[in-house]
Chains A and B, each alone.
Chain A
Amino acid sequence: MINYIIRRTLLAIPLLFGITVVSFIIMQLAPGDPTALMIDPMIKKEDLEAYKEMYGLNDPIYVQYFTWLGNMLQGNFGESLIRQGTSVSELIFARLPNTLLLMVVSTIIAFLISIPLGILSATKQNKLSDYVITIISFLGVATPNFWFGLVLIMVFSVHLGWFPTGGVETLGSSFSILDRIHHLILPAFVLATADMAGLTRYTRSNMIEVLRQDYIRTARAKGFKQNKVIYKHGLKNALIPVITIFGLMLPSFIGGSVVVEKIFTWPGIGLLFFDAAFQRDYPVLMAITVIGSALVVLGNLIADILYAVFDPRIEY
């Protein structure tokens, strides 16, 4: 097992390296540069050129790449091209806790709600509760986040005044856990609904499949109670594919969600990345890409390890 983890980690290094090369090239291939936002009769063309020169944007792409790589390996992600004088790490660290908080909480909500619903749906297959759950999940998949978010804001924040309209904390207040939770509820719920629908369907179909297996029939034949059959023998096996989904969701913990962050004025990584893409703020883009891809690799690794935990037949 330990060997396997080490091997996988070592394999990830060339992979990550490749990702940086490809991302770097794609970014540079996109037309335009950060000065596209500085079209202004009061700014001399020469000044813009001097700016590009200062940040090395006129260097050949391989020079730019190796400069970047050298700095990155020393833990220096460089400086924002748009926010002069602000380091990329500073920007990311200011936003990372917000994104992590939102994504982790929404994922927990999604799992906590959708797994029981999926089991219920599977065990009551083709009964009323199954239909209700199925319809709600399809509605959940079909509802766009931005619309659902705005509706919740209009109803619960503007009209009822139960929740804040956005942000991570009350303006100017000192830190308080309750205040944070209060701000977190709506965006986390909106994000969770998007995941919930899919997760419920996954759990349901896996559960149905597992319940048809011979060993379940055997367990029932042995006279085990229905609950024990479902939760001890069925659930554990039905959850294995769900772990894969969890692994796939992990990178979004860093990536965040542009739409929800935008609607709820949630200053997270998603928005930072989105803005940086439009501004051609290459160092910010690269930093988030590297962290994101590292997480994809890590997510897959964790999923593999969890397989072994849930399925004793798997050994590494």
Chain B
Amino acid sequence: MNGGVSLKKRNLFSILFALTLILGMLAACSNGKSQNTNTSENSNKEEKNEEHANKEPRQGGSLILGTTAAPSLFNPYYSTDTSSRAIENFIFSGLVTINREFKPEGDVAESWEVSDDGLKWTFKIRQGMKFHDGHDLTADDVIFSYSLPLHKDYKGPSGLPFQVIKEINKVDDYTVEFVLTEPYAPFITITATMGVLPKHILGDVPVEELGKNEFNTKKPIGSGPFKFAVWKEGQYVKVEAFDDYYAGRPYLDSIIYKIVPDANAIIAQLQAGDITYTSISPTNVSIAKKMADEGKLVLKSGVSNAWEYIGYNLRNPLFQDIKVRQALTHAIDRESIVQSVLDGAGEVAHGPGSPANWAFTEDVPKFDYDPKKASQMLEEAGWKKGSDGILEKDGKKFSFTLTTTSANDIRQQIATVAQQQLAEVGIEVKIELLEWSAYIEETTPPKWNFDAIVAGWSIGSDPDPTYFWHSKEIEQGLNYGAFSNPKVDELLEKNTQVSDIDERKAVISEAEKIVTEEQPYTFLYYPMSYLGHSPKLHGPEFSVANSYYDIHKWWMEE
């Protein structure tokens, strides 16, 4: 996944680069490869792409991926970071994968069916699929893997998407049936994309010890297009083409996932040809554009599946009036934030979600920059200018602290801009910068020790917004601002139970419309992200859904 690489330079810890923008990262942000269901369709796709038209794919070559963040381990049921997940997607195959448009495609599963009530999912497993050690992959491996998070001794981060599973049944060696407790639309894109582990290797390991098993760090074995070769601590992870991959051996001989902790060093290595594929941090976009103009780099970009916001703590009486919240948004010039802070690398947001995914709606109430209107609305809400120019009501000043993390330069700058703009309407803002871990501790449950925060969310392969807005997410979850609206709760509960995508989009849109009207947050912008690769590399496309889609078909010119 690359939605979040937009932060800046300096001596910041690398994982933060990915994580600061993405305050939270959804599971399976980018799921690996896909399969070759329809050859004619695939060849059409290649012909359409003008760059590739005259060149024949070639076997060989090595893709060198540059990244600032080191992985931690390679077992999808235990890892939480983006680097580990990217590599897992080369090594493991899930029942399904998602394509560049978030649509599920068969991977280990050749096909699947869902019962009319949405409760029973039946997967037909591809026959003749092999693990990297030559063993056949069968229903037993699938059942073993997908039952793991349900096991009482399982200690890992992946429990949630499996909660809806009531039982998993083996119909025959190549058919598996899942029975759910309730219809759950994200089941196919989140749960069913989890990689299949080899039961013949891990079946006898006690579940509570699996997280620390050396399988995860020394010899992961899956059925994906690339097999694990070596992990050089602090340097790189190398995976090599798997000859018996079911969709054919990948064109690339190997992928080297290279850890380069400094964003400037990544650019230097890209220029020198020591890296052939990387996401470009916002500070380096101008250099990358220049390289692209000189023909040394192919630069691709798009809107990330993420949104940035200023979130208000609705527990604070200051923010309990809807008029006041709308006025705050009117007072903040988001267009100038995008232009001056981001150098144009973002799209002004009016509501939550992201244009990068299918559930996005533009049809939300808009509170454009209008400081006059903001002042007027604040006055209507009872706030009068005091002698020092700061708004007052019942003897209390309109003054609050805007908190963000020092790990994120962009958010710091946004805080400063917001401070100036809000001062113009008579609101006093103090800025508080906290180091990342401290920031998390202060702002999340059970402390919620903030007035307002500059933050952002990244969305996963399923756009379910329940986590951000449902009132049940207040006590423990990510609804830090304590937004609560019964109608929104109802719509959000409905959203995951609707299987029809258009109907589901309508439900999500309706919920987001209400949220936008209420303005619990000032929605700032949808960040752009950039991907740069060598002109000799063919195959990659910008995609927030699955950056490494069809990676077995990527190839390098000599």
Instruction: Give the B-binding residues of A (Cβ under 8 A).
Output: 30-33, 36-48, 50-51, 54, 79, 82-86, 90-91, 94-95, 98, 146, 150, 153-154, 157-158, 161, 164-168, 171-172, 258-259, 261-265, 267-268, 271-272, 274-275, 277-280
B211: which of A85, A168, A263 is its contact (CB, 8 Å)? A85
Measured CB to CB, the closest approach of chain A to B83, in angstroms, equals 12
Known: A84-B216, A165-B274, A167-B235. A262 touches B440 (CB 8 A): no
**Contact (Cβ within 8 A) A38 B157:** yes
Closest residue of chain A to B271, judged by CB?
A158
Q: Would A262 and B234 be within 8 Å (CB), given that A161-B272, A165-B272 are in contact?
A: no
The closest CB in chain A to the CB of B462 belongs to: A42
Cross-chain pairs A/B with CB under 8 angstroms, 14 sampled: A36-B440, A37-B15, A37-B436, A38-B80, A41-B468, A42-B27, A43-B80, A84-B212, A84-B216, A86-B73, A268-B234, A274-B13, A277-B13, A280-B437
* A42/B161 in contact, CB under 8 A: yes
CA distance A161 to B271 in the complex (A): 11
Number of residues from B at the complex interface, CB < 8 A: 70
Q: Is B21 an interface residue when CB atoms closer than 8 A count as contact?
A: no
Asked if B233 is an interface residue, CB under 8 A from chain A, the answer is yes
Closest to A265 in B: B260
**Chain B residues within CB distance 8 Å of chain A:** 11-16, 19, 23-27, 62, 64, 70, 72-73, 78, 80-81, 155-161, 190, 211-214, 216-217, 232-236, 238, 256, 258-262, 264-265, 268-269, 271-272, 274, 407, 435-442, 444-445, 460, 467-468, 476-478
Check B217–A32 contact: CB distance below 8 A.
no
Contacts of A40 in B (CB 8 A): 24-27, 80, 157
> B438 and A32: CB pair below 8 A?
yes
Chain A: CB-nearest residue to B460? A42
Contacts of A259 in B (CB 8 A): 11
Chain A residues with CB below 8 A from B19, complex form: 37, 39
The residue on B at minimum CB distance from A259 is B11
Per the bound structure, the CA–CA distance linking A7 and B264 in Å amounts to 49
Q: Known A40-B26, A42-B190, A85-B73; judge A275-B13 contact (CB<8 A).
A: yes
| Complex CA distance for A45 and B444, rounded to whole angstroms | 11
Q: How far is the CB of A214 from chain B (nearest CB, A)?
A: 50
Asked if residues A83 and B73 are in contact (CB atoms below 8 Å), the reply is yes
State the CA gap A82–B79 with chains docked (Å): 9
Closest-CB distance, B477 to chain A (whole angstroms): 7
A37 to chain B, nearest CB (A): 6
The residues of A that contact B212 with a CB separation of less than 8 Å are: 79, 84-85
Other-chain residue from B159, B437, B445 in contact with A36 (beta carbon distance below 8 A): B437
Contact yes or no, B11 A43, CB < 8 A: no
CA distance A79 to B79 in the complex (A): 16
CA–CA, A213 and B73, complex, Å: 63
Q: Are the CB atoms of A47 and B159 closer together than 8 Å?
A: yes
* Candidates A47, A267, A275; contact of B235 at CB < 8 Å: A267
**Considering residues A38, A161, A272, which has the most beta carbons from chain B within 10 angstroms of its beta carbon?**
A38
B73 to chain A, nearest CB (A): 6
Contacts A42-B460, A158-B272 given; does A272 touch B262 at CB 8 Å: no
A22 to B13, CA, bound (A): 24
Residue of A nearest to B434 (CB): A31
Separation in Å of the B92 CB from the closest CB of chain A?
17
Which residue of A is nearest B78, CB measured? A84
Please state if A154 and B261 are interface contacts (CB–CB under 8 Å).
no
CB distance from B72 to the nearest CB of A (A): 5
* Chain A proximity of B48: nearest CB distance (Å): 34
Contacts of B158 in A (CB 8 A): 42-43
* Inter-chain contacts of B477 with A (CB < 8 A): 41, 45
Q: Is the CB of B160 within 8 A of A153?
A: no
On whether the beta carbons of B213 and A85 are closer than 8 Å, the reply is yes
Q: Which residues of B contact A165 (CB under 8 A)?
A: 265, 268-269, 272, 274
A172 to B13, CA, bound (A): 26
- Minimum CB–CB distance from A284 to chain B (whole Å) comes to 12
CA distance A180 to B262 in the complex (A): 21
- Taking the nearest CB of chain B, how far is it from the CB of A94, in angstroms? 4
Contact of B26 among A41, A153, A258, A277 (CB under 8 A): A41
Tell me whether A82 and B460 are in contact (CB under 8 A): no
Please tell me if the beta carbons of B441 and A264 are within 8 angstroms of each other in the complex.
Answer: no
Instruction: Report the minimum CB–CB distance from A104 to chain B (whole Å).
Output: 19
